[in-house]
Amino acid sequence: MAERWLYGWGLGSVALGGASLVAPLYVVELGGGPVVLGVLAAVAAVVGVPAALGAGRIADRTGRRRVVVLAMLALVAVGIAVIPLTDRVTPVILANGAIWFAFAAATPVLTLLAVADVPESAWSERIALLNQYQGIGWALGLLLGAVWTGVGGRFLPPEAVIRLLFVPLAVCAALGLLLGIRTLPADPGPGADRRASGTRLRRAIRAADRFSVRTAAFPFTVGRADFRGLHPRRFVERFTPALALYFIAVFCVFAGFAVFFAPLPAFLTEVGFGSDGVFALYLINGIAAAASFGAAGRLTADRDAALLQTASLSTRAVAFPAVALVGATWGAATLGFGAAAVAFAVIGVTWAVIAVTAGTLVTRLSPLSIRGEALGTYAALGALAGGVGSVAGGWLAAVSYVVAFGAAGGLVILGAALVLLVRRYAAAAPLVGGATG
């Protein structure tokens, strides 16, 4: 796989990383409160699974992977470019939904491109490289937002700082599209095998998914999952009670994450953090997660995955309301920013452990015949819970941020308790070690 085309997707990821936060901040600037932010996040969450599923199947049936990726990069560029042209919240929500539809649709097709024309033994390495370019691009997008809003505030009218930030982000997406046109690999020929083995590809994705700046703060958006082989009826017929209980825990946990993250930009803005501070906190969160994935993998290989996940969930559950306490007590003062930065770093580190142990637990709890489908269902369930939790979080935050963040922590604690029940239920087959099938 030539690396040149990865630069195009890396530039697209810069745009996506910046847009992930500048769109909510723009909604706040337009007067949208936590309820509107909840709807914004919910729409971004619910479009993900059908987009990924549909794009993956289109790429399989037609073999036109290059066209799908280029079309989605174009949609990202257009979506980012049109947002600052409106002063109404509804078009922003629709454009933002289109951006995340495009991201979700491009993700599985990019995975297919990454493993095309290389031996199976190299798949994990190729997907890891793709994840690295995407993760670094995402982090650079957040860094661009922090620098732009910090420095731009000195030279631009306050009302123009956020609006004009969409310009360099749209330029990055457009440059990524142009570079993609020049460098994306050609589609497979008529006689080529257009579909990588689903089970083997899912195994490679699990082994390679390590650089995840995005999912640290947006865990309810669709990740690099393979939905193409998802057969809900067969899956329901074969899954076990322990796996069913764990999926209930997953729903509670991801709903709790969304209750916290959906109204978070509005809260941080209200307690006095400027846009540069908000970008910086999200960047700290993402980098802390990305830096912890390796250690999380080593821990999971040696320890009880269920206990590790329970400890990380419990820590995250405490960190959520702690953010509200820090904001209410110190606001955006130096001490307040320092305490918030620590809390965001903790939230990022715990996500790394949760993400790694979740893959292990789903795999160990699933019968071999539905293991790949179980992992796809886990990703889809996280997105669904994210949509529900986002709406609930916006509604609760309109009443009180303390109530919303407390409810987020409560849902995560409930999920942690259910994970412990799963561990006890499956005691005959201890969930220890990092084998992922």
Can you give the pLDDT at residue 1? 45
Report d(CA 19, CA 92) in Å as an integer.
11
Give SS3 for 7. helix
Give SS3 for 432. strand
Number of residues that make up the chain: 437
Nearest of 143, 172, 127 to residue 12 by alpha carbon: 172
Report d(CA 164, CA 15) in Å as an integer.
13
Give SS3 for 193. coil
Q: What are phi and psi of 118, to 5 degrees?
A: -130, 155
Can you give the pLDDT at residue 359? 81
Nearest of 24, 142, 39, 34 to residue 405 by alpha carbon: 34
- As beta bridge partners, residue 162 has none
The helix-helix angle for 198-208 and 123-152 (nearest 10°) equals: 50
Count of Cβ atoms closer than 10 Å to residue 236 Cβ? 12
Can you give the pLDDT at residue 151? 87
Query: Are the CB atoms for 394 and 34 separated by under 8 Å?
Result: yes
Q: What angle is formed at CA 286 by the lines to CA 325 and CA 156, rounded to 5 degrees?
A: 80
Can you give the pLDDT at residue 389? 95
CA distances from 105 to 59, 102, 117 (A): 10, 5, 22
* Tokens coding 2: 């030539």
Residue 304 CB burial class (10 angstroms; 0-12, 13-18, ≥19) = middle
In the chain, % helix, strand, coil (3-state, to 5) comes to: 80, 0, 20
Report d(CA 55, CA 274) in Å as an integer.
38
Report d(CA 243, CA 261) in Å as an integer.
27
pTM over 0.85: yes
Torsion of CA 96, 97, 99, 101, to 10 degrees: 170
Give SS3 for 304. strand
Count of Cβ atoms closer than 10 Å to residue 318 Cβ? 14
* Tokens coding 418: 């259910």
Q: What are the per-10-residue average pLDDT scores of the chain (437 residues)?
A: 80 94 95 94 89 80 85 96 95 96 88 77 77 88 92 80 95 95 76 55 60 66 63 64 90 95 93 90 91 84 89 95 85 79 94 88 79 76 91 95 94 96 72 41
